[in-house]
Amino acid sequence: MHEPKASVLLIDDEPGIRETLEALLTFEGFNIESAANGTDGLEKLDKKNFDLVLLDLALPDRSGLEILSEIKSANPALPVLMITAYGSVENAVKAIQAGASDYVTKPWDNEKLLAEIRTLIHEQRLVTENRELKRTLKKRYSFSQLIGKSEAMQKVFDLVMQVAPTRATVLIQGESGTGKELVAKAIHANSPRADHLFVPVNTGSLPVDLLESTLFGHVKGSFTSAIASKKGLFEVASQGTIFLDEVGTVSLDTQTKLLRVLQEREFLPLGATESVKADVRVLAATNVDLEQLVREGKFREDLYYRLNVITIPLPTLRERMEDIPLLCDHFFQKFCEENFKPPRRFTPEAMKILLDYDWPGNVRELENAVERAVVLSIGQEVGADLLPEQITRGGKKYLSLLPAMNGKGQASLFEIMEECERRIILDMLDRTHGNQTEAAERFQIPLSTLNQKIKRLNIEIVKKKRESVPA
């Protein structure tokens, strides 16, 4: 694919100079426009984008330095190549100090001039492309502080961008600390409801009666302490998004009322006789298996299917370890700014410990570790001595987790290695939803080898259904 033709604006009052340069640059494949004075040149710059300006220092209406100043004020990144007479080199140096990229003296060498123009335009395009790339990466790797470049997180980002423009109910599943509320905020921020409220509700932290009043509101006198009517959060979140965290903890009675909101788009405040319309998008999150709760009779099956229109499963931090350096950079920047400290980074030794740790508390635990390191650190390098003790001990995770397996209070090396291998294979099979072919490819071993190991280690294969967005 060829680069588009570069556009050059020539500002020079000498007709002979303009004709010569127009012919030369056109022949070399440039798009060129010219202006006979500074005022005309600035007007052309207002109307069109150029890749480079050739500017004469001596213009009839205004000083070339004045024109340069206005160009750089309007577009600091635009390269400007000054043209000057042999005896005006001192002014050309002043122009460079004022922001010009370089200067050429009359008469010039055509080859050197063309080489200079091409170099400046190429450098400018590299800067522009890099800026666009960074903008793209920032957009791709970050939604409302949701950080990650791993394959697992890219799938999450793809799902977020697919579901955000819709009004579909979304169920976000993941362990505690994986960032379920951040995903909900990202969906809201990229939705048509972004200009309205995002209302999070931690349903697990409220008693049943208080939760119902909080969600649906109440009228005066509906219960002993209801001395005034109060709007519920479903009404407060009108035209926006409500996020029900820990939805698996909601009582069966409240589940019935939630189901009505999702089905009828209306609710009845406590003590009221008239329903209130609910123009609100519902996002929910859980760190428990709702299907299991349904089987146990603790969660309504019809509500589960209403919430589970689209599911976004969040990976644990141990499933996306390659994101840890990126997350550390993000949290260092955040907490250094908050604590008025210069930038920090982990030493290679500390980073190795972080990458060896199992992260039961997921991203939230990593965030806390970085904040602690920022607060306690003195220098720019943060060593392993400033990591919490449970993390520094975590490098021996497999040994510490293994039971005494040989009846003598201590496992043999063979038993330890076999158990480690078993756990690693089980972890990979969990990530690949029981797909042995995909697991073998990720391990970079033949499928037959993996099957032999599965048989030898008595590993039971459980195929899991992959979640996807309906077309």
Domain boundaries, the chain: 7-136, 147-313, 317-398, 410-456
Q: Are 418 and 426 in contact (CB under 8 A)?
A: no
7-136 matches 147-313 in fold: yes
Q: What is this structure's pTM?
A: 0.57
- pLDDT for 143: 61
**Residue 368: half-sphere exposure toward Cβ, Cα within 13 Å:** 12
Amino acid at 416: I
Which region holds residue 5: left if phi is over 0, alpha if psi is between -120 and 50, else beta?
Answer: beta
Name every residue whose Cβ is closer than 8 Å to that of residue 72 and which is 6 or more positions away in sequence: 78, 80, 98, 99
Tokens of 217: 């509101």
* Cis previous bond, 4, omega within 30: no
Q: Which residues is 31 bridged to in the sheet?
A: 7
β-bridge pairing 80-85 and 146-147 = unpaired
CATH topology of domain 147-313: Rossmann fold (3.40.50)
> How far is residue 270's CA from residue 408's CA, in Å, rounded to a whole number?
63
Q: Which of 110, 52, 107 is nearest to 81 (CA)?
A: 52
- pLDDT for 410: 54
Q: Are 171 and 310 in contact (CB under 8 A)?
A: yes
> How far is residue 307's CA from residue 236's CA, in Å, rounded to a whole number?
21
For the domain with range 7-136, which CATH number is right: 3.80.10.10, 3.40.50.2300, 3.40.50.12780, 3.40.228.10?
Answer: 3.40.50.2300
Q: How many CB atoms lie within 10 A of CB 369?
A: 24
Q: How many CB atoms lie within 10 A of CB 25?
A: 21
Q: Which of 344, 353, 346 is nearest to 391 (CA)?
A: 353
Spell out, as residue ranges, where the chain has pLDDT lower than 50. 1-2, 137-138, 141, 395-409, 466-471
End-to-end CA gap in the chain? 34
Tokens of 183: 């995903």
β-bridge pairing 7-11 and 52-56 = parallel
C-alpha torsion sign, points 162, 166, 171, 172:
positive
Provide the 8-state DSSP code for 466.
P
- pLDDT for 450: 87
Tokens of 385: 């001595």
Superfamily of domain 410-456: Homeodomain-like (1.10.10.60)
Domain spanning 317-398: CATH 3.40.50.720:
no
- pLDDT for 130: 60
- pLDDT for 269: 85
**Residue 43: half-sphere exposure toward Cβ, Cα within 13 Å:** 7
Provide the 8-state DSSP code for 204.
G
In Å, what is the CA distance from 65 to each residue of 83, 142, 435?
11, 43, 68
Helices (H), 28-74: 38-47, 64-74
> How far is residue 369's CA from residue 317's CA, in Å, rounded to a whole number?
14
In Å, what is the CA distance from 397 to each residue of 153, 167, 389?
25, 43, 13
